Structure 1
Amino acid sequence: MIIVQCTKKLAGELNAPFLSEKPQQANPLYCWHAHIFTYNRRKCVLVMNNSTRYNFMMYGLVKSDFTHFGELLVKHISENMLADEIDQALVNRYLDNVGESSYAPTSDRSIVSQINEMVSVAQQIMEMNMAKTGDLGINKVNRFMNKYIFMKLPKLYSAETMRDELLSLS
């Protein structure tokens, strides 16, 4: 089961039942925090993995996307892992264990703080991309965000940490 821990703002957009808190037995690799924000009058959701800090942004979401948010999230997880050159077999092994999506409130202030930092980074990169090329370059933004240094991670970079965690899955 994948658990999405949503900020209050995102919870207001979702039409889904919420758990009162994150299940204690949940594997942190299958737990994600998510926050909604707007950029250029478009709804965006930044999602970050609890254990690896692997993150990406979904841009231009509309109301109907929030009715099947769990499926959309899994699709974006897969696409971003493959774009970060994580082996297809590792991605498939991860996705085989995903199952249903459950929603819970946020539980870790440090992750929310890191999400807010990544939102600022993403907005700056999108503004630079717009000034240079006239395109937001969402794919480039997502690749950059996983090459951003997180001092608390063993490998410093979230993409490398995610790859190592996926290799250790049995």
Structure 2
Amino acid sequence: MNLQITQKLSDKLKRTLIDVDSLSHNDIDVFHCNLLKFGRYNCVLITNNKTLYSFFLFGLKADDFKHFEEVVRERVFKLLIESGLAQSQFEKILESMEIINYSKTSNRSVVASMNDMKRQIESYLEIGNDIYEVNRKLNKTPYKAIGYKYPVKLFSEMLKS
């Protein structure tokens, strides 16, 4: 998995960044990742570059950033189980997460979409949605960057191919 992380998250993780062009990848492997704050809670939004399918990880503690790879694998696995995707589909994602590389963000369109998602997440949390419901709603919202299609549908199609 290639995580293209924002400067805020890079400062928090203190990981070595690899040049994005030197990484071999397919569309399933490439995600943008941003650190968000809601009140006193640290959160991470991980968004697939091609489909904008996202994983919202809520309430990360300082120790979670020391073991970031394990936390991401564990939480993404739980979100995938709740997502309703077929097991064969989310196994592809889990396989891509065996090795996680970090690089700088490279797609402003994805970052802009993630900023829109942050505003949506804030409103979902204010009305009391749980984390699984927040993730479901994010992925069932059409976005301009992907031609007003649904991320969950595009992601599912990508995993089938």
TM-score w.r.t. the length of structure 1 is 0.87
Deviates most, 67-76 or 141-150: 67-76
Check conservation: 1:38, 1:44, Cα contact below 8 A: yes
1:133 — aligned with what?
A: none
Residues 87-166 of structure 1 correspond to what in structure 2 (within 5 A)? 87-129=86-128, 136-153=129-146, 156-166=149-159
Q: Aligned partners of 1:73 and 1:98: how far apart in 2?
A: 9
1:23 — aligned with what?
A: 22
1:43 — aligned with what?
A: 42
**Larger-gyration structure (1/2):** 1
Q: Give 5+ residue unaligned stretches, structure 2.
A: none
SS for the counterpart of 2:20 is: coil
2:83 — aligned with what?
A: 84
Q: Give 5+ residue unaligned stretches, structure 1.
A: 130-135
Q: Aligned partners of 1:59 and 1:162: how far apart in 2?
A: 22
Q: Percent identity?
A: 27
SS for the counterpart of 1:16 is: coil
SS for the counterpart of 2:36 is: strand
SS for the counterpart of 1:37 is: strand
1:132 — aligned with what?
A: none
Q: Aligned partners of 2:68 and 2:40: how far apart in 1?
A: 20
Deviates most, 49-58 or 74-83: 74-83
TM-score w.r.t. the length of structure 2 is 0.91
2:12 — aligned with what?
A: 13
Deviates most, 156-165 or 23-32: 23-32
CA displacement at 1:78 relative to structure 2 = 2.4
Q: Aligned partners of 1:154 and 1:87: how far apart in 2?
A: 25
CA displacement at 1:99 relative to structure 2 = 2.4
SS for the counterpart of 2:115 is: helix
One-letter amino acid of the structure 1 residue matched with residue 88 of structure 2: A
C-alpha change, 1:88 and 1:45, in structure 2 (3 Å) is: same
Count of equivalent residues: 161
> Is 2:70 aligned against 1:68?
no
Deviates most, 153-162 or 105-114: 153-162
What is the root-mean-square deviation of aligned Cα atoms in Å? Answer: 1.7
